Amino acid sequence: MMIEVQLFESEKIRLAPIDHEKDAEVESIWTFDAEYLRLLSLEPARALCPAQIKKKYEKIEKEAEESKSLFYFTIRTRPEDRLIGFARLYGVEWANGVASIQLGIGDHQDHRRGYGLDVLRLLLRYAFAELNLYRLAAIIPAYNQPALGLFEKAGFVEEVRRRQAVNRDGQRWDLIHLGILRPEWAERNG
């Protein structure tokens, strides 16, 4: 009987905890890019200074500790250990075995390199094989085609289309809910 012993590493990246000393400087620069923010969140875009990011980290760790419904990771390249993004499982409902998933890669130069797919694969295994959840959801605006493609590649399917739920530059976009069930994930992973 074998169990998986390395949950947090792929060939290209690893999932790691927050580095409270160094990460805030890097993440602050990502927030100067409105495109990054608008792909990631429906909150009004605004740049955050390192001090604000540090406060956010403290809030994240407090919530993860107290609620048991949040699992937050930073993403780092291997072997350089350079911070390139974050990923989280949030809104975990233990009785229903469900959670939502989100990830962000900060710098344009780190896009389209396969990091996202590696992160998703690790996080799906973590959700289904370590947390023993039954399904995961992802909520993505229709204009974020790269993310939709990535999640579909990892096995997610479209389930809900909230019509015209997002307003960007005066244009309304659908908000898409995707989902994946444990049996679907298991089948893809032999």
Partner 1 sequence: MKKNLFRGRLVRLIAGDPGILAENYVRWGRNTEFTRHLFREPAVLWSAKKYKDWIEQDIEKDNPDEFFFDICTLDNERPIGFIGLFNLLWNHGDAMVSIGIGDPENWGRGYGTDAMLLILRYAFQELNIQRVTLGVFDYNKRAIRSYEKAGFKLEGRVRQAIQRDGAREDVLYMGVLREEWEAENELHNPGSLEYATEESGKG
**Site residues, partner 1 (CB under 8 A):** 42-44, 93, 95-98, 134-135, 137, 158-167, 172, 175, 177, 179, 181
Residue identified by tokens 């994930």 is: 185
Q: Quick check: helix, strand or coil at residue 148?
A: helix
Nearer to partner 1, 10 or 69 (CB): 69
Yes or no: say if 140 and 97 are a contact pair by the CB < 8 Å rule: no
What's the count of helices (H) and strands (E) in the chain, helices before strands? 6, 7
In the bound complex, what is the minimum distance in angstroms from residue 96's beta carbon to partner 1? 5
Nearer to partner 1, 68 or 108 (CB): 68
- Please give the C-alpha separations between residue 156 and each of 7, 86, 131, in angstroms, as whole numbers: 21, 20, 18
Nearer to partner 1, 113 or 182 (CB): 182
In the bound complex, what is the minimum distance in angstroms from residue 32's beta carbon to partner 1? 20
Q: Quick check: helix, strand or coil at residue 17?
A: coil
In the bound complex, what is the minimum distance in angstroms from residue 166's beta carbon to partner 1? 5
Residue identified by tokens 């949030």 is: 90
In the bound complex, what is the minimum distance in angstroms from residue 86's beta carbon to partner 1? 22
d(CA 81, CA 105): 14
Q: Hey, which bits of the chain come out as E strands? A: 13-16, 71-77, 83-93, 98-105, 135-141, 157-168, 171-181
Nearer to partner 1, 115 or 128 (CB): 128
Nearer to partner 1, 1 or 163 (CB): 163
In the bound complex, what is the minimum distance in angstroms from residue 45's beta carbon to partner 1? 10
